[in-house]
Amino acid sequence: MKRYLVIGVASLVVLIIVFACGGAIIGGIGSAYRSTAEHLAWGADQKIAEQARPAAPDRAAVISELSRIAETRQALEPAASTAAHMHDLLRKAASMMAGSEAMGALRDMQDARGHLRDLGPAIADRLLAGQDAKDLQEQQAKAAADLAHASQDFAKRLTDLGMQMTPDQAELIAIAPNGDDLVALLGMQANVAHFVAQLRDTVAQNRSNPDLLKRYYGLNVVLCEMVETLQADVRDRIKDRYLPRLEAIQKENLGLQRKAQESMKQAPAPEQQGYAANLQALKGTAEILPVYRQYLSQQGEQLDVAINHTQALLDLAANTASTMENTVEVLDMMNAANRDFGAVINLMPPGTLPLDNDTLRQEFERISRKLNEPTS
């Protein structure tokens, strides 16, 4: 009897965050990020999701890449340089397996949103200069329609990966700082599930071929390592980049609030109203920051769990592959079948972030862009 083992990426979902009347946020801050799994430090400047292609990988190309990784491991002596080289190979394989049409749709949607956003200041400049902005306003209307179409296409592509969602939910993934990471994880899970199913069918039709069985279980080891590589890449960015940057934004916000409060006390009465409005805006940002921290912290915790599960699968796959290299009872092992590596599509639809007014949605997007700004 075959036993399917769940990778665990599926639990990485957008949190359900509720805003009460007046925009007040209900719910406490999520528990602090905790790291429980050992991992190799990632050194590449680009994240894996940025290198994922806008289409599912070809089976022959995947076999070639995974086989090359397996052969490289066997050919090289264990050393620090070997570990770094293997890590680079696994990153490349992970980017290949993270490709999907959903990734292409996400990029189209982000481009459409960026174009729409850029038109706003251009229209404002025209109007401030006393010039006609009708042509830009027409472009703005078309860009808004293009964005709506791109959102629908993105939602459809995510549905094709096994995650049902509305265009509004898809839009929230697109404006999140690590939306491409989520799509990469979903794409990898779908691709690995499909790929393993194809391999399993091939093995079932050629059960008398011991070399085929050995290569199959050897590829399972690489698949587990590849999944762990992407999971760690996403988890480490949350821990090492987004959460520290969010903390810095919060400190900056508090500093601006204090400065506005002090200036308001010393300002003449006519100017006090302006400072009060500034304070209100800063408090709106401060209100959403704990929600953002909860959103990222819970993702980090869920990835800790997913990585631990993947490592357990990796231990089993490595033990099975080693056993098959040292036994002649290959067919008996195959008949036992409980050593299989499988990926089950077990995706939960994401929760919603009911940012039920444009101000909250724009603030969420603004913070997302700030988190992704390059640092000096």
Residue 249 and residue 201 share a domain: yes
Residue 34 and residue 75 share a domain: yes
Task: Please give the distance of CA 155 from its chain centroid, rounded to a whole number.
Answer: 16
Residue 201 and residue 156 share a domain: no
Residue 216 lies in a domain: yes
Per-residue pLDDT of the chain (376 residues; tens, 9 = 90+): 333 223 333 332 322 222 222 222 222 222 221 221 222 233 445 789 999 999 988 888 888 888 888 877 665 555 555 677 788 888 999 999 999 999 999 999 888 888 888 999 999 999 999 999 999 999 999 999 998 898 889 989 988 887 777 777 777 788 888 889 989 998 988 888 888 888 888 877 887 787 887 788 888 888 888 889 999 999 998 898 889 988 988 898 889 889 888 888 888 888 888 888 888 888 878 888 887 888 788 888 888 888 888 888 888 888 877 777 666 555 555 544 444 444 333 334 344 454 556 676 777 778 888 887 766 5
Q: What pLDDT, on the 0 to 100 scale, is given for residue 274?
A: 86
Residue 119 and residue 227 share a domain: no
Residue 135 and residue 36 share a domain: no
Residue 215 and residue 141 share a domain: no
Residue 174 lies in a domain: no
Residue 184 lies in a domain: yes
Q: What pLDDT, on the 0 to 100 scale, is given for residue 363?
A: 77
Residue 293 lies in a domain: yes
Residue 112 and residue 82 share a domain: no
- Buried b / exposed e over 165-202, threshold 16 CB at 10 Å, is bebebbbbbbbbbbbbbbbbbbbbbbbbbebbeebbee
* Structural domain for 189, as ranges: 9-100+179-369
Residue 196 and residue 146 share a domain: no
Residue 119 and residue 238 share a domain: no
Q: What pLDDT, on the 0 to 100 scale, is given for residue 356?
A: 58
Residue 199 and residue 291 share a domain: yes
Q: What pLDDT, on the 0 to 100 scale, is given for residue 63?
A: 85
What is the spatial distance between Cα 252 and Cα 9, in angstroms, rounded to a whole number? 34
Residue 7's Cβ-count burial label (10 Å; 0-12, 13-18, 19+) is buried
H or E element: which one contains 134? helix 134-160
Positive or negative, the Cα torsion across 157, 160, 161, 162?
A: positive
Residue 314 lies in a domain: yes
Residue 59 lies in a domain: yes
Q: What pLDDT, on the 0 to 100 scale, is given for residue 68?
A: 83
Residue 267 and residue 125 share a domain: no
**25 in Cβ contact with 363 (< 8 Å):** no
Q: What pLDDT, on the 0 to 100 scale, is given for residue 132?
A: 94
Greatest extent of the chain over all pairs of C-alpha atoms, in Å: 90
pTM exceeds 0.85, yes or no: no
Return contacts of 22-28, CB within 8 angstroms, 24+ apart: 23/284, 23/287, 23/357, 23/360, 24/287, 25/287, 25/288, 25/290, 25/291, 27/291, 27/294, 28/290, 28/294
Residue 1 lies in a domain: no
Listed in sequence order, the residues at least 6 apart from 130 whose beta carbon sits closer than 8 Å to its beta carbon are: none
Q: What pLDDT, on the 0 to 100 scale, is given for residue 138?
A: 94
Q: What pLDDT, on the 0 to 100 scale, is given for residue 330?
A: 52
Structural domain count, the chain? 2
Residue 250 and residue 193 share a domain: yes
Residue 183 lies in a domain: yes
What is the spatial distance between Cα 14 and Cα 110, in angstroms, rounded to a whole number? 18
Q: What pLDDT, on the 0 to 100 scale, is given for residue 31?
A: 24
Residue 254: HSE in the Cβ half-sphere, 13 Å Cα cutoff: 6
What is the spatial distance between Cα 22 and Cα 27, in angstroms, rounded to a whole number? 15
